[in-house]
Structures are given as structure tokens and as C-alpha cells.
Structure 1
């Protein structure tokens, strides 16, 4: 919900750090490091190590902010970097609730909550990528609604990156409440799905 507003804040926070990053380290190296660190967070959540899983998760979030800031600082932003960044985020986001549930020896009811959350992620990502594909197709044809579709694609929803990061942090800090966190996040994502579906439906008419 606040990702667009926070983008400039992140750049102001991480921009000054870019000058200390050696030239031999590229934004893609930082993206890869963020992915590895995110997997380590999942691994330690699976092992019920709250402190280590939380520490690696926070480091993952910091590196995730740094790679984009570094790419913009060096004017080397690329489609490949954006793709790998999203791929790493989606994989870590999907694995974290599962890893926490395994670490907590979750009950069947807890697994139901995690399953609904994962399904909500799946549907939400489908909407985002379908809109992106249609926007590109219409822009390529010079369609009159290309600009509107791009606008819809960027429209905020109730839960985005920042809100997801906060809830995942709470999941890792208080893993015994994984069932409650999963239901909460699933509900928020579903509301976002409804919001985006309404916007997309209006744009595609």
C-alpha cells in the first residue's frame, strides 16, 4: 500500500551506501546474495532458530533494497536484474511460511492456513503478470488503453512489499503464531486480489 511512497525513502537510505560498494561487485551479485541469505532464513526457520532466521531475513531485506539502489546509482538497471530480483523475492516469500510451519511442527489446521496463504500468493501473482503481459501486447500494437493498463499494473493494493515484509518479520519473530499470521496475511492478500481484479476488469472492457 505504501511501496510507491517508500521508494524514494529507500533510495535516500541506501543511496549513500552505494559509493562504498567495490566496483567489482555488481547489482546482480547483490541480488544473488539476497537470494542466498533469504534461503538461509528459511533454513533456520525450518530448524526453529528464531534469532538466526530473523537475522538472515532482515539482511535479505537490506540487500534487496541495496541492489536496486546500486543499479540506479551506477545507471546499470536492467530487465534481467528486475526479473532475478522478483524471482528471488517470490521464492523466498513462498518458502518462508512453509519453513516456519515445519519448524513449529504445525498441526493440520495450521497447514490449512499456510495452504490458503500460498494459494492467495499464486492468484495475486497471476493477476500481476497477466496485466503486465496485456499491457506490453497493447503497447506493441499502439492500443489506446496501453497507458491505462500500465497505470492499473502499478496501482497500490492493501498489501504489497512493505506490508509483506512486516508480516514475515512478525512470523519469524513469533513463529508459534504462524497459523494466525498466515490467516491474517491470506485475508489481506485476498482483499488486494479483489482490488486489483476490479481495476483490471475496468481497464480491459
Structure 2
């Protein structure tokens, strides 16, 4: 729900940072991998209940995740990289799933209470991931692509990347409340997953010329 306004708000600052780090050896894929490593380290810190370290690593990893796209577009515009867009998009979404899942598991271990709310969050992530990845693949093949500048066709919802960053940050800022927050978050993500299933089905049933994404 907040991804579109967040992208509009952060586009100029991220482009400026991408311009500052644009060096031959700083490739978009390496930035993606740095985000992956930092995100997994954040999950490990959370599992050890090193909450301040986990928060810092988590936010830096998400900054890296936000920079790989602007850097890739900058490289393509300059003609330095015209071949790795699809591969980079694949690497980016795979890294995101790995980091999100690992961080949920890390917080679930570190907070010291029941793992059930965090396992429910993982189930909700699984349903959402299945819905939007399946939709993106079929929409691409059938001429119903939703193009917002990203590598995949993303169906909007109540729970998107921006909300995920915020909620995961809240977990490590207030670890004593992590379990109850996880229950609420799991409910929202499950609701969002159901919404994506319905909207995706409707878009794919519509004639390709009419599938503009206006139902999202």
C-alpha cells in the first residue's frame, strides 16, 4: 500500500546516492549481494537478541536493496550494462525472499516466546510470494504485464515492501512486543495475499487489452 508513495519520495535521494557510488567495481548485482549478506547478518543478530545490531544491519541491508535498481538503471542509461537486467531482477527478488524469511526466523528465535506467530508470518509470506510470482509469470506470457519500472509485475496490496521494512524494524525496536505485533502483521499479510489472489485472477480472466492493472 505504501510502496508507490515511498518510491516517489525516495527516488531522488536514491538516485543521488547511486550516482555517488557508481564505480566500475560497484555493480548492481554486487549491491544486491551486499544487501543479502547484511540482511542475513541482521537475522543472525536478532536470533542472538542483539537488537541494536540487528536494527542497524537490517536498515543498511534495505538501503542496499533500494540502491541496486537505481544503479542498474543508471548503468543501462549510460550504455555500460545492457544485458543483465533480467538476471539482476531475478537475483534481487530471490535475495529479498531470503532476507525476509531469515529475519522472521531470527526474531522468532531471539524474542524468547512462542514461534507460532512468526511461523504464521512465514506462511503468509509464502502465500503472498506464490500469488505475485505466479501472476507475474503468467501476466508476462499472456500480454498482461503491469509495468511500474520494476522487473516483475507487482500486484499492490495492504502489505508491501515498505510495510515489511517498518514492521520488521518495530520487532527489533520493541522485542518484548514482537510476538503480538507478528500476529497482527500475519493477519494483514494473509488478507493482502487473499486480495492478490482475487485481483490477479480477475486480471488474468480479462482480455489482454483491458488488463491495465486498474483493478489493483
Q: TM-score range by the shorter chain?
A: 0.7 to 0.9
Alignment partners' CA distance in 2, 1:162 and 1:104: 23
Structure 1 residue 136 displacement after superposition = 2.4
Alignment partners' CA distance in 1, 2:40 and 2:125: 18
Secondary structure at the aligned position of 2:115 is classed as: helix
Q: Compare the two structures and name the one with the higher helix fraction.
A: 1
* Structure 1 residue runs without a partner (length 5+): 140-145
TM-score by length of 2: 0.83
What is aligned with 2:102?
Answer: 95
1:1-205 correspondence to structure 2 within 5 Å:
1-21=1-21, 22-75=23-76, 76=81, 78-106=85-113, 110-139=114-143, 146=144, 153-205=153-205
Alignment partners' CA distance in 1, 2:100 and 2:154: 20
Query: Per-residue CA shift, 1:83-117, capped at 9, x if unaligned?
Result: 111111111111112111211222xxx22211111
CA contact (8 A) 1:18 1:69 kept: yes
Alignment partners' CA distance in 2, 1:191 and 1:150: 24
Secondary structure at the aligned position of 1:162 is classed as: helix
Alignment partners' CA distance in 1, 2:100 and 2:19: 30
Structure 1 residue 150 displacement after superposition = 6.9
Q: How many residues are paired up? A: 194
RMSD (Å) for aligned C-alpha atoms: 1.8
Alignment partners' CA distance in 2, 1:158 and 1:14: 24
Alignment partners' CA distance in 2, 1:192 and 1:123: 9
Alignment partners' CA distance in 1, 2:18 and 2:202: 41
User: Could you list the runs of 4 or more consecutive aligned residues of structure 1 that deviate by over 6 angstroms after TM superposition?
Assistant: none
Alignment partners' CA distance in 1, 2:70 and 2:147: 23
TM-score by length of 1: 0.87
CA contact (8 A) 1:2 1:156 kept: no
